[in-house]
Amino acid sequence: MKEQVENFLRTEKERIMASEKQKRDNLLISIGLVDKEKSSRIYSNVNYETSEYKLYDAEKKAYYKESFAALDVTEEEYLEICKYLPTEKTKVGKRYPALRTIAGIFSGFAWIIGIVTVIIAYLAWDKGGETYGLMVAISTLVVGVLMVLGLLGTAESIKVIIDIEENTRKTGE
């Protein structure tokens, strides 16, 4: 194998291993498995509270944040711990059930209006005669299609907003 390829593969393996260790450490810290001896305080350079530095040390008269270190566990211990943790789906569940319900209602109304529009257009054309029936049928179809598109667009917009929130949250984790 060429040296460049070997270097690339080694670098990527190291990057992936570091990323996996970071995820593992974050999980251990999130469930409270923290090594207090390795944890530390990071003090702010400014003398006022910020969004990052919210804790105050009266002795040093400075704001700080905690920097936690995960407890060192073996691979076997980590796998055993993971068995007892809820999966991401059961932990968070589906968020925004009201918005999901509203999107479903909009979609349902869209389909109902679409079906009713076709029926009314057919009846108007059938019962209204050549000229009048055709004009009513076409105008009914145009209005019905616009209503269906508006309702489906609204439902899909709600779903897109929910998806954006989920993706943003996953990226932040």
Q: Amino acid letter at 76?
A: E
Contact 125, 133 (CB under 8 A): yes
Report percent pLDDT > 90 for the chain.
34
3-state secondary structure of 164: helix
How far, in Å, CA of 74 to CA of 101, rounded?
44
More confident residue, 54 or 107: 107
**Residue 173 confidence (pLDDT):** 60
Mean pLDDT for 23-47 is 82
pLDDT score of 19: 87
Going by C-alpha positions, the residue among 149, 156, 169 that lies closest to residue 99 is 156
Strands ordered across the beta sheet of 55-57? 40-43, 62-67, 55-57
Q: What is the model's pTM?
A: 0.47
Mean pLDDT is highest, among 41-45, 57-61, 135-139, 145-149, for: 145-149
Per-residue pLDDT band for 89 (boundaries 50, 70, 90) equals very low
For 137-154, the pLDDT digits (tens) are 999 999 999 999 999 999
- The continuous run of DSSP H or E covering 40 comes out as strand 40-43
What are the structural domain ranges in the chain? 3-84, 97-172
Query: Residue 122: how many CA atoms within 13 Å on its side-chain side?
Result: 6
Segment 45-73 mean pLDDT: 80
Dihedral sign of CA atoms 81, 84, 89, 90 in order: negative
